[in-house]
Amino acid sequence: MIKQGLKGGMMTGLALVFVTLCLFSKAQTISNEQLFGVEGYSVFERGYPLKVEGGPGGKFFYLEYWPAGKQGRTYTNFYLQCYGTRDYIEHWYKPITEEGAAVMQPSDLIKTAQRIAVIGHQFREEVKETHTVARFYDFDGKANSVEPVQLSNYKKLGKNFSEKIVLSNQKKRLLWMGVGEEGLYYSVWDEYGKQVWEKQLNLPYVKDKYLLREVTVDEHGDLYMLVLPVTPSTSIREKSPLLLLRYRYEKDAFETYTWELKDQAVPIMMHLEVEGKEAYLAGVVSTPDAPGFLNSQSQGKKDLPRPMTHLVFRRFSEQEDGLLKAVSSQIHPVPVTWASRYQAGGHFSRSKVVVSKDDVILILEEYFSEKDKLYFYDLGCVSFVKETGNIRWNQIIGKRQRDKQSEAFMSYIPGISRGKLRLVYLTERGASGKVYCTSIDLDDGKLREKILTSNESDLYLFFPSRSCMVSDFEMVLLGIGNPNQNDFKLFTVTF
């Protein structure tokens, strides 16, 4: 790319040292922003850069496609690039496929504790099959090997195959999981890009029908799986316990831990997080005849939505014998303010968790569609105290995002910085839209909102799914730049 001025004028020669906004003295501000002109191809046809990932020492990484002969790139390829968050100076770039090698099509970018990993797909000539692969680089751009390593371990890619990649809490283990007609496939890699183990597994309870809701990995390489028993119609089975499975790879054995929900409660949303020797379950359940509010999110038949009635939390802790034990368990009625606000019904259908030093924060997001429009509305945030499962605070953020074209610019980016939960989002894609930062104090739940900038001339359309926290106090957002010009945009939010 060629760097441009903030309003899109091309810069050449000495002017390549671009204009930057140095506003570090103010909290929650756009401290840097830059347009990048694309050379040799159409960004509308090839696509915008894939994703941003954080690096050490005020640096970040992202992938960009380059034609041969442009800005020192010797051949056409996707290039992994390292930039500075405060000045956007390029530190280095490396091709993800070496010249003459089988082409690797990138799909993700993940930073482990010691490496930056480019995830992609590549046809493997030796097995005549396309596999999921990864190429690991140290933070100075040196690749572990000339060829990418193969993450997937299936023999043949069958129909209805899906895969997932998960990074452990401290980023020391990377899990690849594949789900196919023949079973479940796993491979685990350490933070340097070396394989720890791989195996095809059959889970316990194969005679029952179950929903594998979440899978994660700990820093040792053991697997944790949240399993919800279901009926033949795929509705969540009432009066059945939640199952937490742990697979100990060195023993090649499963451990099963159950959570009997009281009063015929049925899980609506449930998440699993593992940190050190602790495992946390947090979510929302529906209990018959209990007060709450009707929600469009349903399990099974869409014409039978279940009310959201309770927030639940359970903590498992590893004991001296190596087994897990439930040491705290809480069930809380949904906050009165929530029940009052959503008397006419809510639309919470998406959720995630963010883990801070002392809390597990559950974030629910309203999402629904009507005719040709997509709606991303309120965020409901609940902070559970790790030690006890008590609710420290809860908040509702009344955002009103909508778009009839795409959900690419909708939703939000979460992060923890300077003792606060930070949520950055664009209110809408039109000129009246604004980039907001909502901050919630982790101790008392106090909420503050700040407008970072307006979306005048559509210059601040960014992709939440391609943007992220890159350090303890910086977030880099990847956007489209001028909607009608061949460029893209990066801007840094400093907290």
Beta bridge partners of 369: 374
Q: Tell me the residue ranges of DSSP E strands in 125-265.
A: 129-137, 149-150, 162-167, 173-180, 183-190, 195-201, 210-217, 223-229, 242-248, 253-259
- Looking up tokens 């439930």 gives 326
pLDDT in tens, 403-451: 887 889 999 999 999 999 999 999 887 667 899 999 999 999 999 999 9
Residue 155 exposed, middle or buried by CB count within 10 Å (0-12, 13-18, 19+): exposed
Average pLDDT on 254-263 reads 89
Q: pLDDT, tens digit, for every residue of 439-469?
A: 999 999 999 999 999 987 788 999 999 999 9
Of 344, 487, 476, 474, which is closest to residue 61 (Cα–Cα)?
476
137 and 144 in contact (C-beta within 8 Å)? yes
What residues have CB less than 8 Å from 397, skipping those under 6 apart? 378, 379, 380, 381, 423, 438, 447
Across 102-123, average pLDDT: 96
Checking if the pLDDT of 157 tops 60, the result is yes
Q: What percent of the chain has pLDDT over 70?
A: 89
Question: How confident is the model at residue 22, as a pLDDT?
Answer: 42
> How many whole angstroms separate alpha carbon 112 and alpha carbon 2?
30
Greatest distance between any 2 Cα atoms in the chain:
71
Q: Give the pLDDT confidence score for residue 14 in this predicted structure.
A: 25
Evaluate if residue 29 carries a pLDDT over 90.
yes
Backbone angles phi, psi at 282, to 5 degrees: -145, 140
Closest CA to 409 of 350, 358, 472, 481: 481
For the segment 314-340, the average pLDDT, to the nearest whole number, is 95
pLDDT at position 202 is 82
Tokens of 493: 């939010």
